[in-house]
Amino acid sequence: MNNKIKKIINKKNRSKIVCLTAYSKNIAEIIDNHVDIILVGDSLGSVLYNYNTTRKVNLKMMLEHTKSVRMGVKKSLLVIDLPYNTYRNKSEALKNSKKAIKETKCDAVKIEGGIKVKDIVRHLVKNKIPVLGHIGITPQTVKGKFKSKGKTETEKRKLINDAKELEKSGAFGIVLECIYSDISKKITNLIKIPTIGIGASVHCDGQVLVTDDILGLTNAKIKFVKKYTNVKKIVNSAVLKFKKEVKSKKYPSKKYSY
């Protein structure tokens, strides 16, 4: 197991794991100083390309964005989301994971699903590909509206089983997306690998959010999304100043001319 992965696992019950998404070098460079994991999520489909589903994201897009992010990452664990239809069976998953790691130099892959993907996870881990699991709401397979998971006894049992199976299969951690507090607490206490929550309460071993959301670059109106600043406003004001200076010929002054 590589050292970066060991460090992440060792944080369980010691220190919360901080994870954010990045889709490009410039953002990756800034967040790399502060987070443990940088995820190139297939959420880039909706955030950057306005897709109504992550199913439209393909491997080529993920590889190009991850190559850009890699240039900005020095210390964090870099994880790539394997997009929809790229891990339908063991050999497809292995071929695409190897390609992703070879071409982007990322450290690990994330795949969605619980029991359904346990054999794929086991196969990847056996072949030295570190895997981050993802259960609860799994956007690649959601039909209709996103609804938080773990309300009914059947859902609770399924989530617990999914988490246990992913752990048994060798995943080094599991993203819990939109899961009720009591059940994410139970899962976190039950398994030895870290849980990273997104809309899954403070009980998880770590938290992940989409960077564009916390920066106020998107119009996300989701209960668990906290906007920490308003970059749209900052960009707007800088662009307005530039425009005024161009119109008034204040820019470029001598200082900015040859």
SS (H, E, C) 3-64: HHHHHHHHCCCCCCEEEEECCCHHHHHHHCCCCCEEEECCCHHHHHHCCCCHHHCCHHHHHH
Q: x-or-dash pattern for ligand KIV, window 192-211, by CB under 6 A?
A: ------x---------x-x-
Q: x-or-dash pattern for ligand KIV, window 115-154, by CB under 6 A?
A: ----------------------------------------
Residue with Cβ nearer ligand KIV (124 or 208): 208
Catalytic residue among 112, 165, 167, 177: 177
Shortest separation between residue 121's beta carbon and ligand KIV, angstroms: 16
Q: Restricting to residues 151-190, name those near ligand KIV by CB under 6 A.
A: 175, 177
Q: Is 177 marked active-site?
A: yes
Shortest separation between residue 14's beta carbon and ligand KIV, angstroms: 22
Question: Judging by beta carbons within 10 Å of its beta carbon (0-12, 13-18, 19+), is residue 94 exposed, middle or buried?
Answer: middle
Shortest separation between residue 253's beta carbon and ligand KIV, angstroms: 43
Residue with Cβ nearer ligand KIV (51 or 251): 51
- Residue 76 is a binding residue for ligand KIV (CB under 6 A): no
Shortest separation between residue 115's beta carbon and ligand KIV, angstroms: 19
Residue with Cβ nearer ligand KIV (169 or 207): 207
Residue 79 near residue 42 (C-beta atoms within 8 A): no
**48 alpha-carbon distance from chain centroid:** 14
SS3 67: helix
Question: Judging by beta carbons within 10 Å of its beta carbon (0-12, 13-18, 19+), is residue 199 exposed, middle or buried?
Answer: buried
Number of residues interacting with ligand KIV: please give it, by CB under 6 A. Answer: 11
What whole-number distance in Å separates Cα of residue 258 and Cα of residue 209? 44
What whole-number distance in Å separates Cα of residue 43 and Cα of residue 49? 9
- Residue 213 has φ and ψ, to the nearest 5°, of -70, -45
Q: x-or-dash pattern for ligand KIV, window 28-47, by CB under 6 A?
A: -----------x-xxx----
Q: Which residue is nearest to ligand KIV (CB)?
A: 41
Residues 6+ apart with CB under 8 A from 19: 35, 36, 37, 38, 39, 196, 206, 207, 208
- Residue 81 is a binding residue for ligand KIV (CB under 6 A): yes
* Residue ranges binding ligand KIV (CB under 6 A): 21, 39, 41-43, 81, 175, 177, 198, 208, 210
Residues taking part in catalysis: 177
